[in-house]
Structure 1
Amino acid sequence: MASDPAADADESTPAGDPAGVDSRPARRLLLEVGVGVLLLVLLRVFVIQSFHVPSGSMEPTIRPGDRVVVTKIGAGAVERGDVIVFDGTTTFAGGVSDPSVPRGRLGRALSAGASTVSIDLGEQDYLKRVVGVGGDTVSCTPDGGLVVNAEPAAEPWLAPGELPCETPFDVGVPPERLFVLGDNRSESADSRSHLGDPGGGMVPLDDVVGHVVWRYWPLARTGGLGD
């Protein structure tokens, strides 16, 4: 009896697959997973990243245990009053960066991508408020408050009774640098704590990760920072 060519074609196994198993769905799934991971990495590197806040140095604005979203879009466009996250590995933590990891925004991009796949490059991030930008003169006394460029600076984010500073200081902020303070001045190790260190506690603009724009945990306080 002559065979039916059409039937033979339907019953044949896929070319190159002697076991008779079609691997195309598995390859498609791997491709979709790979694309999803790539998009996640790109999102963290260039757009947004979330951070957990372990300390009370920014109370009452941000409390211990809060989780915040940081936007990296326009990270270098920093103004007074902005709450930022920055890499303080060499400026605040007193460490030495890995010479194999580029500094600045390229290094931050590599770090964000590495953290997505659970690789720690040893950076130490800090969350503070900007009170002085390049070219500013920033001074403070316990009684006179914070003064920027000879003008009193309003600080509505300080808790009632919180002194603007406990020890007077008067500094000039170099170009491409930032002077940062915590809102909880009595509990914050910030630029004031590093005035005598190399760099004078000034944060390089290139070390800025991004601006804090949203609190998503705890749910009872979800929203913006209310500045």
Structure 2
Amino acid sequence: MAVSESDDEGSDRARGKWRAKKKQRPFWQELPILIVIAAVIAALTVSFVGRPYVIPSESMEPTLHGCSGCTGDRIYVQKLSYYWGDPVPGDVVVFVGPPSWNTRYQSIRSDNAVVRGVQNFFSFFGLVPPDENDLVKRVIATGGQTVQCCDDQGRILVNGKPLDEPYVKSDFAWVSGQQNATYPSGRVFGPVKVPDGNVWVMGDNRNHSADSRAHVSDELQGTVPLDNIRGKAVFKIWPPGRIGPVRAQDPQQN
């Protein structure tokens, strides 16, 4: 018996409806898949693009706000810039403190093994801070440059040239001709030649920042290896009244 054209069309429509019904899944079945996809994207973003950090101290005032018991700035730190180049003077960077910088650091992880495992798991996806001594400072000098303080006006010198640092609003008092080499009660340090592959960093709030100056006696003379740098601070994302870019200002361009 011959099959009519209308019968063929009816069969095609029936098969199409069957396929459509077969492809549709309940939302509760799709939800785990969506969660896994979102988690993978979050992990890749944290690992290769960037992540937020919280400012815990006042060492970068007024550029970045932070203090004990207050709502510190939340900043976004991106990693992409340093895949194709190294930090330059004026960049605000987040880095892991070298060994001699970690004497007062206490782990933020729980003593309970199960809770600690959960914290480490969520840290991988950027939902919990990493368990490391992350610090934020401004790059002042890079590998091969010589940094010291001070000239007769109290300015920091890099390769013998004074820096222009408009971001510094608070510093130790300077008396011309007074040479006091004790930190933190004084300001004089160096000269220090920054090794290749390292940077010299300082906080914008100079009299409240334990930065490279506080570690000149260690094996790295206070410098920070590039491998320790987690990324470049580019934006303040919280609180609302502080939202805005974190500007890199090269102090050597004067």
- Asked if TM exceeds 0.5, the reply is yes
CA shift for structure 1 position 220: 1.4
- Aligned residue pairs total 195
- Quick one: which amino acid aligns to residue 78 of structure 2? T
Is the counterpart of residue 179 in structure 1 residue 186 in structure 2?
no
Superposition deviation, residue 60 in structure 1: 1.1
- 1:90 offset after TM fit, Å? 2.1
Q: Does residue 132 in structure 1 map to residue 136 in structure 2?
A: no
Aligned-partner SS, 2:81: coil
Who is 1:10 aligned against?
Answer: none
1:41, 1:113 within 8 Å by CA — same for their partners in 2?
no
Q: Are 1:81 and 1:131, in contact at CA under 8 Å, matched by a contact in 2? A: yes
Q: Give the Cα–Cα distance (whole angstroms) in 2 for the partners of residues 177 and 49 of structure 1.
A: 23
Cα distance change of structure 1 residues 159 and 82 upon mapping to structure 2, 3 Å threshold: same
Query: Normalization by structure 2: what TM-score?
Result: 0.68
Q: CA deviation at 1:198?
A: 2.1
The equivalences for 1:76-115 within 5 A come to 77-88=86-97, 90-94=99-103, 114=124
- The equivalent residue for 2:156 is 146
Partner SS for 2:80? coil
Distance 1:32 1:161, change over 3 A: closer
CA distance in 2: counterparts of 1:214 and 1:134, whole angstroms = 26
How much identity, in percent, do the aligned residues show?
34
Equivalent in the alignment of 2:4:
none
Does 2:207 align with 1:205? no
Partner residue, 1:32: 34
TM-score normalised over the length of structure 1: 0.75
User: Which whole-Å CA distance do the structure 2 matches of 1:197 and 1:47 have between them?
Assistant: 32
Aligned to 1:116: 126
Once the 2 structures are TM-superposed, how far is the Cα of residue 217 of structure 1 from its aligned partner?
1.6
Shift of 1:68: 0.7
Contact 1:89–1:95 (CA under 8 A) maintained in structure 2: no
SS in 2 for 1:51: strand
8 A Cα contact 1:70 1:213, kept in partner: yes
Residue 106 of structure 1 aligns with which residue?
none
CA shift for structure 1 position 162? 5.5
Please say if residues 73 and 238 of structure 2, whose CA atoms lie closer than 8 Å, have aligned partners that are also in contact. yes
Whether the 8 Å CA contact 1:61–1:157 is kept in 2: the answer is yes
RMSD: 3.1
Measure the CA separation in 2 of the matches of 1:152 and 1:119. Answer: 38
Distance apart, 1:62 and its partner CA: 0.8
| Contact 1:66 1:215 survives alignment (8 Å) | yes
Maintained 8 Å contact 1:91/1:203: no
SS of 2:213's equivalent in the other structure is helix
Q: Is 1:168 equivalent to 2:188 in the alignment?
A: yes
In the TM superposition, residue 161 of structure 1 has moved relative to its aligned partner by: 6.2
Q: What residue is the counterpart of 2:81 in the other structure?
A: 74
Tell me how far apart the structure 2 counterparts of residues 162 and 23 of structure 1 sit (CA, whole Å).
Answer: 67
Q: Which residue among 192, 204, 212 is the counterpart of 2:213?
A: 192
Rounded Cα–Cα distance in structure 2 between residues aligned with 1:53 and 1:173: 26
- Structure 2 spans left out of the alignment, 5+ residues: 1-23, 67-71, 106-119, 175-182, 250-254
CA shift in 2, pair 1:71/1:163, >3 Å: farther
Query: Per the alignment, do residues 80 and 163 of structure 1 end up closer, same or farther by CA in structure 2, a change over 3 Å counting?
Result: farther
Return closer, same or farther for 1:220/1:117 CA change in 2, 3 Å cut-off: closer
Aligned with 1:44 (options 40, 43, 46): 46
Using the TM superposition, give the Cα deviation of residue 117 of structure 1 relative to its aligned residue in structure 2, in angstroms.
5.5
Q: Is the 8 A contact 1:45 1:113 kept in 2?
A: no
Q: Deviation string for 1:33-91 (max 9, x for gaps)?
A: 10001101111111121011010001111111111111111235200011000011525
The one-letter amino acid paired with 1:133 is T
